[in-house]
Chains A and B, each alone.
Chain A
């Protein structure tokens, strides 16, 4: 049995391993146990950022102009819908489709490429879980307790047991 488990593990670990690290900063407003709005900021690691900024910042002014941001949104960010934006929202044990992100912005901060966006969906905190991770494990989503800013409820961050990739879970209590 041990051998079989080892072989299964070896098969799974062949695939990918994190090459990009994205820090997730969620800001959540809760009123009467209902989530009113969620604002996310993703900060990519400096090495990945340098590679992407080189491509995105076409006029090399170290800023992402509106046209450049539009290009990122259309060609890169939007395609993450296939990956549910690396965020599974589970309501009553059922994974929901990630709502269409609004107010997307891309900017450079301390040599890091950052994405900022919002989702507006009324959710009851009692039955809702946010799981961050990439099942392909090419990207590691990093969520520390201090990254989550929640008003009207308490944020609980825990490790996500995904069996073969690593992620984080955010619960509101």
Chain B
């Protein structure tokens, strides 16, 4: 399985390497004659780039997977969650990039690193709270001997914000590249299409988790709350792990 993962990782890296190079070359090649068709092509590539980029490490897939392990949901909810995260991701990346670029034009990278660290810490604290909340919900449901935890939209939004608030450096790089080349609208649209691609991949992580939950849930039958508590604990650990790792950097 590890070997399979390594091969998968290699393919993801190589595809991103090629797409990254292709996007930058194509954006540079835009001129008055080909602006529409080339821009369209860039948006399609940005979508694919997002799809593959989110398949690599990061982007809250673990958080989403654990969330759906601890909550009985349908696939529609997984899609909704994936897209909520990607919308927040895109907005966060656009606000950060444009904001930092115009407010602190020089020393861009250094400031981005600092801001990104702060955002990551906020995200980690939020993830910890989501974990605690889910454990509390699972414990409560066990007490009142309910089979299903009442799905709270509040916790859905909390998960989406936690996972999405850290702006994706991949999206930020494309946006910044477009800003440097004065292709502002294209930068915004590329951030959106890339985020749509990422949303799709994150949704798949949620769907896989729901599939697992259904099987394991049947198996555990009335002891389903154990799975829910485990999910909450995993989210909590994830948050602590993330928080301490940011603190070390």
Contact = CB atoms under 8 A, between A and B. Distances in A.
Contacts of B25: 46
Given A14-B62, A51-B109, A142 B242 contact: no
A57 B57 CA distance: 32
A35 interface: no
Contacts of A156: none
Interface stretch (A95-103, A118-126, A147-155, A160-168): A160-168
B103 interface: no
Name the residue among B10, B20, B65, B241 with the largest chain A CB count within 10 angstroms.
B20
A12 interface: yes
Interface in B52-98: 53, 56-63, 65-66
A46 B21 contact: yes
Given A13-B58, A14-B238, A51-B177, A163 B108 contact: no
Given A19-B170, A51-B176, A140 B17 contact: yes
Contacts of A11: 62, 238, 241
A144 B182 CA distance: 33
Interface residues of A, number: 36
B20 A45 contact: yes
Contacts of A16: 57-58
B177 A5 contact: no
Interface string B159-182: 000000000011001101100110
A32 B180 CA distance: 50
Contacts of A2: 1
B170 A166 contact: no
Contact of B6 (A14, A137, A138, A166): A166
Contacts of A45: 17, 20-21, 24
Given A19-B169, A47-B177, A13 B57 contact: yes
A50 B16 contact: no
Contacts of A161: 3, 6
A86 interface: no
B173 A19 contact: yes
Interface string B1-18: 111011001101100110
B128 interface: no
B245 A15 contact: yes
Chain B, interface size category, equals 35 or more
B103 to A, nearest CB: 15
B234 A165 contact: no
Interface string A1-22: 0100101011111111111010
Interface string A96-133: 00000000000000010000000000000000000000
Contacts of B53: 17
B107 interface: yes
Given A7-B234, A161-B6, A166-B6, A47 B62 contact: no
B108 A54 contact: yes
A18 B1 CA distance: 22
A84 to B, nearest CB: 16
A51 B173 contact: yes
Interface string A44-76: 011110111011000000000000000000000
A61 to B, nearest CB: 16
A42 to B, nearest CB: 14
A151 to B, nearest CB: 28
B107 to A, nearest CB: 7
Interface of B: 1-3, 5-6, 9-10, 12-13, 16-17, 20-21, 23-25, 28, 53, 56-63, 65-66, 106-110, 169-170, 173-174, 176-177, 180-181, 234, 238, 241-242, 245
Given A2-B1, A51-B109, 16 more contacts: A10-B65, A10-B66, A13-B62, A14-B60, A14-B61, A14-B63, A17-B12, A17-B57, A19-B169, A46-B21, A47-B20, A47-B174, A50-B177, A51-B180, A138-B169, A166-B6
